[in-house]
Structure formats: structure tokens, C-alpha cells
Chains A and B, each alone.
Chain A
Amino acid sequence: MAVRLLRSSRAVLWAGFGGLLAIIILMAAKGSQVVSVIQSETNRLLAEHQQREDLLDGIRFSLSESASDIRDYLLDRDPSALAQRRDDLQKLRQRITEAVERYGRNLPADEAALWAQLQRDVDAYWNALAPSLHWNAETRRARAEDFLQEQVIPRQGELLALTAAVDRANQRNLEQSNRRVAKLFRQFRLEMAVSAIVALVLGGLLALLTITRMLALERSAGAQLREVARARSELQNLSRRLVAAQEEERRRVARELHDEIGQALSAILVELGRLEGRLPPEPQQNRAMVAVARQLADRATAQVRDMALLLRPSMLDDLGLVPALQWQAREVSRRTGVKVKVAADTVADDLPDEYRTCVYRIVQEAVNNAARHAHATTVRVDASQEDGRIRVSIQDNGAGFNPKLEKGMGILGMEERVKKLGGAFRIDSEEGAGTIVSLLLPLSASEVQRKT
């Protein structure tokens, strides 16, 4: 369930976070583009406006200049300067015409009419002035004043008024452009706001989804963890009960073997002995038969005793832990020739049964492993009891092994027994370096109290 949830969330989260990121990137790109467009547009408009202003100023200045030049020309008594002045006026006309033409380029539509009129009037102005340039001295003297008063000054005034109108139009144009830019800006701001709201909403939704999914995952992971823990504790419980049940069963069978079969065999042996004593020497056959029966019963007794001891050594119950450990050491020495030394002077004989059994079984397993699998020649068992704790170590000089790789049922069983009593268990071994099995059992509080 968690895996499916994880997989379905993954696609949604990828898409969601991807989308959010895309919106933000687009917003940034668009913003930067719009700002740069607005900026360049504004710059262009300002530059154009300034250029026109300059041109208009130039035209106005040139017109004033032309008027004073005409007057000077007409009123000048020095004929030698006339050609020069005519030339100057010609140049002025050309400058003004060029400026007007330049002004006409890239002109907005609403200014075109005014400009056309300006162009026409400028031409008319010059055309009106043109004849006066060819007048002789008398004509100039006679008509100059009138001409200036009637033609030049009013026309120049009209032209100046016209340029002022053009200037106003230009000003209006700039204001219009400014309004356009401002509108563009407002629109952009609106777009930005909408994008931001969309991103915010999407982000919020994503966050909500993420949190929901995370919580769901957490819940499901927690449930799984609890399930695993429960299963593990159940398993542990079961294995402990198994160990306890096995021990109890062994004890029961051992007692049965010893009490019922063993005792019956002992009684049979006694009766056979008595029978043997009563039989007359002849016939010898009868005595031989009784002897065979005795041998059989003898062997069966030994077998039953060994079996019972193997299942559950009666010393553990009759004499306590240390005598049982010493008996075990002698038994292993008798059977295998391995030297087993037990040092356990400080351990009490009347430990609770579960502690006795635990230590005994672990020592039994470890010593048997050392003799049987590790081919050790000496084994040392050290046990001590102090400060409410029992410490046991079993050290051999055998082949050793890698405890991480080889962990048989025997070792698991040892661990299980120690865990059941809340103790610590470890195996130190290395190939070719022997093995040390050690355990530490805390005596329960009630047990420590009982001792003191």
C-alpha cells in the first residue's frame, strides 16, 4: 500500500513542483522582457521628442535669423556685402528646409497635417522673400520698410506661431506615449499579479498535497514498523516459550527415564542377584542364563542413565550449577580426552532454576562445540558471581570460526536463553585463534534481595 502511494504521489509531486517552477521562471523571464521593452520604448520616445524639440528650436532660431538677415540685406547701404548676404540667406533657407524635412521623418499621424502646413508656409515665406533679393538699390530704399513691415514680420510671426503649435503637438505626443507606456506597465503589473496568485494557489495546493501524502506515508510506515515489531516480539516470545518448553520436556522425560525405567531396572538387578544366589551350582546353564539377563539389565541401566543425563543432568537439580559443570567437564574429558577446566568458586549452588539451566546449557553447547567441531585440546570455563551478576566465559584453543558467517542453531539457542534472562551474550572467534563465548546475566532484583 505504501509503495503504491509513494509511486502515485511521485508523479503528482514531479508535475506539481515542475509546474510551479515553470511558472516562476516564466514570470521572471516575462518581467525582465517587459521591463526592458518599456525601458527601451521610453528611451526611444524621449530621444525622439528631444530630437524634435532641438529641430524646432533650430528652425525657430533660423527663422529669426532669416528675418534679421533680410532686414540687414534690404537696409544695408554697402553694395559690396550684398552678394555675401544673399549667399547667407540662401544657406539659411536650405538649413531651415532641411530641418523641416528631418522633422517630418517618423512623424506620428496627428502631427502630419501641422507639419505639412509648416512646410508649405516655410516655402511660401521663402518664395515671398525671394523677389526682394533681386531688387536694385532704389527699389530697396523705396520698399524695404514696407516690405519688412507687411511681408517679412507677419509671415515670420505666423511661422513662429506655427512652430509653437507643432511644439505643442510634439508635447502632446510625448504625453500620449507616456500614457501608453504607463498603460503597458499597468497591464504588465496585472499580469504579474495574476501569475503570482496562480503560483501561490498552485504552491499552496502542492504543499497541501505533499503534507497529506507525507502524513499518509508516515502513518503507513509507522503502522508497518509497529507490525514488524509486534511480529518480532511474538516470534521472540514464541522462541522463548519453545526453549522453556523443550527444557521442561527434557526434564520430564529424563525424570521418567530415571524414576520409572531406571528404578525398575535397578530392582530387576537386585532380584536377579538374589535369584543367582539361590540357584544351585548345577545345571550351569541356568546360572549362565541369569548372568546374561544381568548383563543385559546392567547395560540397559547404564544406557538409561546416560540418556537421562544427556537430556537433563540430575546434578543440576540435586547438587546445583557448579557440581553439574564439574561433572560435565569430567564427562567430556572421559568421552573425548579434551581437558576441560572449570573455575567457579564464587557461584552459589542454589541459583534459581532458570539461571542454572541457562548457564549449564550454554557451557554444554560451547564445550561440545569446542570438542566436536573446533577440535580443541583444552577448554577453560570461568564463572563468577558478584554484585548481582553472573559472568561466564568458555574459552577454547580450537580452530575458531567467523561468528558473522556461521551462526548455527546452537548459537541462536544460546543467545535466546541469555536474552530471555535479560543478559548479554557474545562470541569472539577468529579462524585459527580459538573461541571465547561469554555471557553476563543480571540476577533479578528479587533474587539479589533473597541473597542478602
Chain B
Amino acid sequence: MSLVRILIVDDHPFLRTGLRHVLEEHSEFQIVGEASDGWEGVRLAEKERPDVAILDIGMPNLNGIDAAQHIRESAPGTSIIMLSVHSDESYVLRALKAGARAYLLKQSAEADLIAAVKAVSQGKSFFSPAVSQMLLDDYMRQLRERDVEDTYELLTMREREILQLVAEGKSNKEIANVLHLSPYTVETHRANLMEKLNLHSVPELILYAVRKGVIS
């Protein structure tokens, strides 16, 4: 496995050091830079073009969400892991919209960090189990409150497969290869399932998939 180049952006030096130590215990990871605020992180990402950028969501000057948007533009090849103390879906959705592929709780950073870095470096998504659990709980409670049917039941098997693959970050072409379908068919299925679930963007789809436990 090739070397994964990593940028750590967090305003707290102790945590930064801790994360660095955790990552350095694995030889396939290389720390290419550390930044203590959003702007510095954006500059370093543009310069170093890391494979993975770990961003703290709450930072002075430029927060993690805005920094993620900048990095996605200036270094499109960099996968973003968002670090946060909040497990609420408003943060998760905003992080996904800003281009993050993984959402990690600081409370469990040490345990989940390696899995998260590995997942995003392979183009997959990752969410701390506590976050997935919280999203699922909220979703189920809302279903109960509104007394509506779970829309997931409306999906066909094919649509469920495609939902999972889209949520994992695969393109239509990749999905077509995996399922031996034409890219157009995949696109049709994808549009149908988005309509059935009343979703309007890939981040919303990912959030939905996490809520349903389709991906972790």
C-alpha cells in the first residue's frame, strides 16, 4: 500500500500532537504538515497537496467547514476528515456539504482515526459510531413523531445497492462496473431513488445512508 500523506489542522496543540502520535504509529501514514487555524490549513493544503486533511470543525479565523470548501477548490485530490465534538446532524450535514468524506468525534478520535484515514484514502466515507447512532436515533424518533412510513421500504433491491455505492463515494461509472449495468441505467436508478427519498444532493444522500445504517 502506498504512503498516505496527511495534513492536520487543529487549533489545539495537545490534540494535534496526540493525533500525530497516533498516526505515526502506522508506517503507511506520513504527516506532511500541521496548522493551527483554517487559513494556514488552506495554504498548506494548496502547497503540499496531501491525500488526507484532518480539519477541526471549530477554529478561530476560518472554521473547518469554510476551510474544507477552500481546500476542495484549491486541492481537489485531498479527502477531508472533519473533527468535531458535536454529533448533531446539522454539523454532519454541513460538513458533508462542505466536502468532508468522514466525520469524526474528538471523544473517540484515537480509536476511529486510523479507520477513518484508511476509509477516505480509499474513497469511502466514515462516521464515528456514536454519530451514526445519533443520526439513526433522531431519524427513528422523527419517523415515530410524524407517524410516516419509512421511505427506505419503497426502494427496490437495485436502488438500495446503488444508494449504498453512491453513499460510499463511487461515481456512476464505477457503480456501473461493479453491478454490470450501463452508466445510464445507474443514473436512472439514482434519480428514482433520490426522488423516492425526497433527497436533493449527495451530502443529503450520504446522511440518509448513515441514518439508515447503510454505511457506517
Contacts and interface: CB of A to CB of B under 8 A. Distances in A.
Interface of A: 258-259, 262-264, 266-267, 269-274, 277, 298, 301-302, 305, 314-315, 318-319, 323-324, 326-327, 330-331, 333-334, 339
A314 B111 CA distance: 25
Interface in B5-47: 11-12, 14-15, 17-19, 21-22, 25
Contacts of A333: 141, 145
Given A258-B85, A259-B11, A314-B86, A270 B18 contact: yes
A330 B137 CA distance: 11
B212 interface: no
Given A266-B85, A272-B110, A274-B22, 9 more contacts: A258-B85, A263-B11, A263-B12, A263-B106, A266-B106, A318-B65, A327-B88, A333-B145, A334-B137
Contact of A267 (B12, B88, B89, B90): B12
Counting chain A CB atoms within 10 Å of each CB, the highest count among B11, B22, B58, B107 belongs to B107
Nearest to A276: B110
B18 A262 contact: no
B96 interface: no
Contact of B91 (A259, A274, A315, A339): A315
Nearest to B113: A270
B137 to A, nearest CB: 8
24 contacts: A258-B85, A259-B11, A262-B85, A263-B14, A266-B107, A266-B109, A267-B12, A267-B18, A269-B106, A270-B18, A270-B110, A301-B85, A301-B107, A305-B86, A314-B58, A315-B86, A318-B94, A323-B90, A323-B94, A326-B90, A327-B90, A331-B88, A334-B137, A334-B141
Interface residues of B, number: 31
A334 B109 CA distance: 24
Nearest to B10: A263
A296 to B, nearest CB: 13
A270 B109 contact: yes
Given A258-B58, A333-B141, A274 B110 contact: yes
B57 interface: yes
For chain B, what secondary structure do more than half of its interface residues adopt (helix, strand, loop), or is it mixed?
Answer: helix
B48 interface: no
A277 B26 CA distance: 13
Nearest to A270: B18
B14 A319 contact: no
For the complex of A and B, 5 pairs with smallest distance between CB atoms: A273-B110, A270-B18, A267-B14, A323-B90, A263-B12
Contacts of A334: 137-138, 141
Main secondary structure of the interface of A (DSSP, over half): helix
Contacts of B15: 263, 266-267, 270
B76 to A, nearest CB: 24
A266 B22 contact: no
A273 B22 contact: yes
Contacts of B86: 305, 314-315
B63 interface: yes
Contacts of A339: 145
Given A266-B106, A267-B18, A315-B91, A273 B111 contact: yes
B138 A269 contact: no
Contacts of A274: 18, 21-22, 25, 110
Contacts of A302: 107
B215 to A, nearest CB: 21
Of A262, A318, A334, chain B has the most CB atoms within 10 Å of the CB of: A318
B140 to A, nearest CB: 12
Interface string B60-72: 0001010000000
Interface in B138-155: 138, 141, 145
Interface string B79-113: 00000011011110010000000000011111100
Contact of A319 (B91, B106, B108, B110): B91
Contacts of B91: 315, 318-319, 323
B12 A269 contact: no
A330 B142 CA distance: 9
Contacts of B109: 266, 269-270
Given A267-B14, A267-B18, A330 B89 contact: yes
A273 B91 CA distance: 25
B93 to A, nearest CB: 8
A339 B146 CA distance: 9
